[in-house]
C-alpha cells in the first residue's frame, strides 16, 4: 500500500456503473477535498490524498477510451469500486476490476456500497479470492460520513479509530469556534436569533455524528476487542464514550435515543466490572441503566429496541444476584427478562434476536434452578427449551456466530447438570457435542477469546467426567490439554477473572488426577504451582476473596492427601 501511494499519479481509480454517476462525482469530491485532521499526515508529509481518476473527467479529451482507462489503472495506487446492483451487472466495471488486479496484483481494492445488499451489489470479479474491505455508504449501513472516513482511512493507510477521533475533535473545534463567533457578532445585531438557530442545528448534527461514533465503539469495536481478550482497551473505550455524555450537561435535556445509548454503555461498563471481579461497581451501573431503560420504555411501550434494552437491564441485575447467591432475587429479574423476551417474539416473530433473548432468559432461569434449588429435572427442561430457541435463531440467521455459539453452549449447560446428577454418559455425550460444535467456529475465527475460553471449559469438563468415571489415564491426557489451553488464554489478558479462575481450577484438577494415579511428586509440584500462581495475583484484580478462600481450602485438602500418599509410599 505504501509503495503504491508513493509511485502512483492517482490516489485511486474510481470504478462505477454510469447509472451511479452522481454518486461517483460526489464521492470523488469528498475524497479529493478531504483534508486530514491535525496530527495525521500521509507518508509524504502532506494532508491531502490527491486526485482520483474517474473516466468522465479524465477522458474528455481522449480519443481512445479503452487505452485511457488502461493508463488510468496503471497510474492509480488503489481501486475504489462503487458497488450497486447496476455495478454488479456492468461488464465494464467487471473488466476494470480484473485489469487492475492483473496490472497491480499487490495493490488493494476497496468497496463502497451505495445501493443494495452486498450479495447483489458486489461485482463478480470483486469477490473472487479474499473479500474486499467494504465501506457501507447507505443510510442503514455506516452512513455517508463514517463510510467515507472508512475509505479515506484505507486510502491514507491510517487506523480508522484514530481518523474518526481526530475528525470528531476537529468538527467539535469548528462548532465551538462558530458558536463563539456567532455570539460576539450577535451582541450588536438583530441576527442573534438566526445565529443561535444555526448553532443549534450544527450542535445537533455534531451530536448525531458523535453518537454514531459511540455506536461504533459499542458494537464493532467492542466485539473486536472482546474477541481478543483486551479488557484494558474495553475499559478505555467505555470511559471515553461515557465522558462524551458527561460533557453534554443535564441528562434530562438529552433525547430518549441518547439516554438509551448511554444505558447500553453502562451495561458494557458493568460487564467489564464483572470480568474484573468488582460486582459492587457493576450492580451500581446496572441499576442506573435499569432506571433509564424503564423510564424510556414507558414513553414507547411497544418499541422493540426499548424492550430489548430494558430486558438487558433486567438480565444484568439478575446476573449480579446470581453471582452473589441471591437465588429468589435472581429468579425475579430473570422472569422479568423472559417476559420482555416473549414480548419481542410477539412484536418481531421472524427475527433471530427475538429467539436469542427467549433462549437466554430460559437458560438463566435453569441455571438458578440447578445451582441453588438442585431441581435437576426442571433445569434440564428449561435448558432444552432454551436450546430449541437458539436453534430457531440459528435457522433464522445461519451465519450468526452468536447463535451458533449459544447452540453449542446449551449442550455444555445440560452436560453440567447431568454431571451433577452423576449421569456421566449423558454428561460426556453433551460435552462432546459441545466441542464438536465449537471446532468449526474456532477454525473460522482462531483469534476469538470467547471461543478459546469455551473450548478450555469443555476440555476441563471432559477431564472431570473421565476422573469421576475412574478413567484416570484419559483424565490425565485431557487435563494436560486444558492446562496448555489455559496458559495460552491467560497470556492474552492476565486481568480477566474468568480466565484466571479456569487456569487455577485446571491446576487443581491436574493435582487431583496425579493424586489418584499415586504420583505424590506431581501432586506437590502442581499444588505448589497453584499456590504460587494464586499468591502472585494481586488481590481484587482477578480473583474475588470468596474464590481465593475456596481455592486455598481445596489446595490444602489435595496437599494433605498427597502427603498421606507419600508416607504410604515410604
Residue 178: its pLDDT value, please? 54
Distance of CA 23 to the CA centre of its chain: 31
Q: Encode pLDDT of 259-312 as tens digits.
A: 888 888 888 888 888 877 889 989 998 998 899 999 999 999 999 999 999 999
321 occurs within a structural domain: no
453 occurs within a structural domain: yes
Rounded to whole angstroms, how far apart are CA atoms 495 and 306?
33
| Residue 220 per-residue DSSP state | I
Identify the CA nearest to 235 among candidates 244, 226, 227.
226
Domain boundary among 158, 184, 201: 158
177 occurs within a structural domain: no
The stretches in the chain having pLDDT less than 50 are 1-6, 57-65, 179, 182, 185-194, 196-197, 199-200, 202-204, 209-210, 214, 217-231, 245, 247-250, 539-542, 567-570
95 occurs within a structural domain: yes
Residue 570: its pLDDT value, please? 41
Identify the CA nearest to 83 among candidates 131, 144, 136.
136
61 occurs within a structural domain: yes
The residue range of the domain holding 108 is: 2-158
The domain spanning residue 457 has which CATH number?
A: 1.25.40.10
Residue 246: its pLDDT value, please? 52
Would you say 371 and 377 are in contact if contact means Cβ atoms under 8 Å apart?
Answer: no
How many domains does the chain divide into? Answer: 2
Report residue 468: phi and psi, to 5°. Answer: -70, -25
Residue 177: its pLDDT value, please? 58
Domain boundary among 93, 127, 158: 158
564 occurs within a structural domain: yes
The residues, ordered by sequence, that sit 6+ positions from 63 with a Cβ below 8 Å of its Cβ are none
Grid cell, residue 534, equals 494464586
512 occurs within a structural domain: yes
Residue 9: its pLDDT value, please? 86
216 occurs within a structural domain: no
The domain spanning residue 106 has which CATH number?
A: 3.40.50.10140
Identify the CA nearest to 418 among candidates 366, 480, 364, 485.
366
Domain boundary among 118, 135, 158: 158
Radius of gyration of the chain (CA): 29
Amino acid at each position: 500500500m505504501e509503495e503504491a501511494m508513493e509511485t502512483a499519479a492517482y490516489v485511486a481509480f474510481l470504478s462505477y456503473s454510469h447509472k451511479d454517476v452522481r454518486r461517483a462525482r460526489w464521492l470523488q469530491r469528498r475524497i479529493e477535498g478531504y483534508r486530514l485532521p491535525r496530527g495525521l499526515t500521509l507518508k509524504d508529509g502532506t494532508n491531502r490524498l490527491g486526485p482520483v481518476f474517474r473516466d468522465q473527467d479524465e477522458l474528455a479529451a481522449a480519443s481512445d477510451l479503452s487505452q485511457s482507462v488502461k493508463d488510468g489503472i496503471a497510474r492509480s495506487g488503489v481501486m475504489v469500486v462503487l458497488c450497486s446492483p447496476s455495478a454488479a451487472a456492468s461488464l465494464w466495471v467487471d473488466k476494470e476490476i480484473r485489469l487492475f488486479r492483473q496490472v497491480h496484483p499487490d495493490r488493494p481494492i476497496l468497496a463502497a456500497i451505495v445501493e443494495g445488499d452486498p450479495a447483489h451489489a458486489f461485482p463478480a470479479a470483486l469477490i473472487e479470492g479474499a473479500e474486499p474491505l467494504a465501506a457501507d455508504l447507505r443510510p442503514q449501513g455506516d452512513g455517508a460520513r463514517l463510510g467515507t472516513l472508512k475509505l479515506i482511512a484505507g486510502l491514507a493507510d491510517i487506523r480508522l479509530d484514530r481518523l474518526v477521533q481526530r475528525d470528531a475533535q476537529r468538527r467539535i473545534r469548528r462548532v465551538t469556534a462558530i458558536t463563539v463567533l456567532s455570539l460576539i457578532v450577535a451582541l450588536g445585531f438583530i441576527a442573534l436569533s438566526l445565529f443561535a438557530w444555526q448553532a443549534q442545528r450544527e450542535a445537533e448534527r455534531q451530536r448525531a455524528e458523535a453518537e454514531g461514533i459511540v455506536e461504533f465503539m459499542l458494537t464493532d469495536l467492542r466485539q473486536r476487542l472482546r474477541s481478543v481478550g483486551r479488557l484494558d482497551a474495553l475499559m478505555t473505550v467505555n470511559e471515553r464514550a461515557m465522558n462524551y455524555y458527561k460533557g453534554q450537561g443535564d441528562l434530562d435535556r438529552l433525547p430518549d435515543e441518547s439516554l438509551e445509548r448511554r444505558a447500553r454503555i453502562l451495561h458494557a461498563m458493568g460487564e467489564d466490572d464483572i470480568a474484573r471481579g468488582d460486582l459492587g461497581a457493576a450492580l451500581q451501573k446496572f441499576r442506573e441503566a435499569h432506571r433509564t431503560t424503564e423510564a424510556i420504555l414507558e414513553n414507547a411501550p411497544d418499541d422493540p429496541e426499548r424492550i430489548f434494552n430494558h430486558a438487558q437491564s433486567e438480565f444484568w441485575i439478575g446476573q449480579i444476584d446470581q453471582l452473589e447467591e441471591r437465588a429468589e432475587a435472581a429468579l425475579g429479574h430473570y422472569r422479568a427478562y423472559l417476559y420482555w423476551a416473549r414480548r419481542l417474539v410477539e412484536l418481531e416473530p421472524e427475527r433471530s434476536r427475538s429467539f436469542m433473548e427467549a433462549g437466554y432468559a430460559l437458560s438463566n432461569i435453569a441455571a438458578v434452578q440447578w445451582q441453588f434449588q438442585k431441581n435437576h429435572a426442571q433445569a434440564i427442561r428449561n435448558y432444552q427449551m432454551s436450546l430449541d430457541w437458539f436453534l430457531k435463531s440459528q435457522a433464522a440467521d445461519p451465519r450468526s456466530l452468536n447463535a451458533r455459539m449459544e447452540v453449542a453452549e446449551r449442550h455444555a449447560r445440560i452436560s453440567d447438570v447431568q454431571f451433577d446428577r452423576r449421569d456421566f454418559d449423558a454428561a460426556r455425550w453433551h460435552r462432546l457435542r459441545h466441542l464438536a460444535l465449537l471446532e468449526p467456529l474456532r477454525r473460522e475465527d482462531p483469534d476469538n477469546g470467547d471461543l478459546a475460553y469455551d473450548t478450555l471449559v469443555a476440555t476441563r469438563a471432559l477431564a472431570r467426567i473421565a476422573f469421576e468415571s475412574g478413567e484416570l489415564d484419559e483424565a490425565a491426557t485431557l487435563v494436560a490439554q486444558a492446562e496448555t489451553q489455559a496458559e495460552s488464554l491467560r497470556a492474552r489478558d492476565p486481568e480477566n477473572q474468568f480466565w484466571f479462575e479456569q487456569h487455577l481450577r485446571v491446576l487443581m484438577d491436574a493435582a487431583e488426577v496425579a493424586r489418584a494415579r499415586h504420583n505424590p511428586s506431581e501432586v506437590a509440584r502442581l499444588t505448589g504451582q497453584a499456590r504460587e500462581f494464586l499468591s502472585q495475583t494481586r488481590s481484587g484484580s482477578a480473583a474475588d476473596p470468596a474464590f481465593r478462600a475456596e481455592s486455598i481450602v481445596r489446595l490444602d485438602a489435595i496437599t494433605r492427601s498427597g502427603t498421606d500418599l507419600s508416607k504410604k509410599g515410604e
